[in-house]
Amino acid sequence: MAGIGLFRAFDPKVRRHLISDEGEVVIDEVRHHWVVFTVPMLEIALAVILLFVMLWKNLGDAAFALLVIVLVLLGHAFWQFLTQHRDRFVVTNMRVMRIRGVFSQTVATTPIARILDITLQKPIIGRILGYGHFVFESAAQDQGFREIKYVSRPDDRDLTIQRVIQRTGLRASASVDVVQGDDDDSDDDGTGPIGMNSAAEVTTTTTTAPTHHTTSTRVAGTSSKSIFNSERGNWTDDPDHD
């Protein structure tokens, strides 16, 4: 438990990079699969074995050299742990981020809509142990998103990213439909305002008064429908209304 708490102290603090005031939230925070810690663990095991050898046998002058080797192994293993632990790939509802670095930190981001294609590679050993590699085709390849290796539960992560991309695309399509008036294709021929039949007759008359000018617009139609409401008045397309 103490070791887990120690490594949590070295977490990259992903949430401080979120645009909270715009409603950005973390969908998935991807850590490396445990297989990346295999080499550091072997180094620690070797260091422990060498320490036992030093304690049980009198090595004389060689003990100092052996102690140096033990310290180097432990230091390198700890550095590898920190490096892999602080390498995070983060998927939010707006973008993807990769945060890396121990002392100096690199934060690369790109909007989720800029991801063009995702390739999931699962080698034989990866299928057995449960990890895979992601290859992204996007405009952000030079920012560290080209390859994300040793991702645990790759199938679930792939589905999560695909869902986020799909939802982002659906929102964009819905916004375009609203702006272009796709729900009113039967009434709109593409040359008039949304919700108004541009083929209808539009007549504009101007009446001059001593103190002001009044402009009224009449649209020929068969039904009366309010198209604008304000505190100053109610404009209708009723041809019998002046």
Query: Beta partners for 135?
Result: 119, 147
Identify residue 44 by its one-letter amino acid code. I
Q: What is the pLDDT of residue 141?
A: 55
Identify which of 145, 101, 123 has the alpha carbon closest to the alpha carbon of residue 11. Answer: 101
Residue 142 has pLDDT above 90, yes or no: no
Q: What is the pLDDT of residues 70-108, one digit of tens each?
A: 999 999 999 999 999 999 999 999 999 999 998 888 898
Identify residue 42 by its one-letter amino acid code. L
Q: Pick the range with the lowest mean pLDDT from 21-30, 128-137, 231-240.
A: 231-240
Residues 170-187, mean pLDDT to the nearest whole number: 45
Q: What's the longest Cα–Cα distance across the chain?
A: 116
Residue 151 has pLDDT above 90, yes or no: yes
Residue 208 has pLDDT above 80, yes or no: no
Q: What is the pLDDT of residue 147?
A: 86
Residue 65 has pLDDT above 90, yes or no: no
- 213 pLDDT band (50/70/90 cuts)? very low
Residues 6-34, mean pLDDT to the nearest whole number: 87
Host H or E run for residue 208: strand 202-208
Q: Do 143 and 108 contact (CB within 8 A), yes or no?
A: yes
- 58 pLDDT band (50/70/90 cuts)? confident
Q: What is the pLDDT of residues 98-118, one digit of tens each?
A: 999 988 888 988 888 888 888
Residue 16 has pLDDT above 80, yes or no: yes
Q: What is the pTM of this model?
A: 0.62
Phi, psi of 111 (to 5 degrees): -60, 145
